[in-house]
Amino acid sequence: MKLLRYGAKGKEKPGVLDKEGRIRDLSGIIADISGETISPKSLTRLAKIKPESLPLVRGTPRIGPCVANPQKFIAIGLNYSDHAAESNLPVPPEPVVFTKHVSCISGPDDDVTIPPKSKKSDWEVELGVIIGTRAKNIKKKDALAHVAGYCTINDLSEREFQIERAGQWTKGKSYDTFGPIGPWLVTTDEVKDPQKLKLWLELNGKKVQDGSTSTMVFGVAHIVAYLSQFFTLMPGDIITTGTPPGVGMGMKPQRFLKPGDVMRIGIEGLGVQQQKVVRDK
DSSP 83-138: HHHHTT-PPPSS-EEEE--GGGEE-TTSPEEEPTT-S-EE--EEEEEEE-S-BSS-
pLDDT at residue 242 tops 90 = yes
How confident is the model over 186-192, as a mean pLDDT?
A: 97
Strand (E) or helix (H) holding 170: helix 169-173
Question: Domain 73-279, CATH 3.40.430.10 — does that match?
Answer: no
- pLDDT category, 89, cuts 50, 70, 90? confident
- pLDDT category, 83, cuts 50, 70, 90? confident
Using a 10 angstrom Cβ sphere, with 0-12 exposed, 13-18 middle and 19 or more buried, the burial of residue 153 is buried
pLDDT digits (tens, 9 = 90+) for 16-28: 999 999 999 999 9
Residue 15, beta-bridge partner list: 4, 25
Share of the chain above pLDDT 70, in %: 100
- pLDDT category, 88, cuts 50, 70, 90? confident
The residue ranges of every structural domain in the chain are 2-53, 73-279
Share of the chain above pLDDT 90, in %: 92
Q: Please tell me the predicted confidence (pLDDT) of residue 87.
A: 77
Q: Please tell me the predicted confidence (pLDDT) of residue 86.
A: 80
Q: What angle do CA 95, 100, 103 make, to 5 degrees?
A: 165
pLDDT at residue 81 tops 90 = no
* Whole-number average pLDDT of the chain: 96
pLDDT at residue 257 tops 80 = yes
pLDDT digits (tens, 9 = 90+) for 117-165: 999 999 999 999 999 999 999 999 999 999 999 999 999 999 999 989 8
Residue 180, beta-bridge partner list: 106
pLDDT at residue 75 tops 90 = yes
pLDDT at residue 235 tops 80 = yes
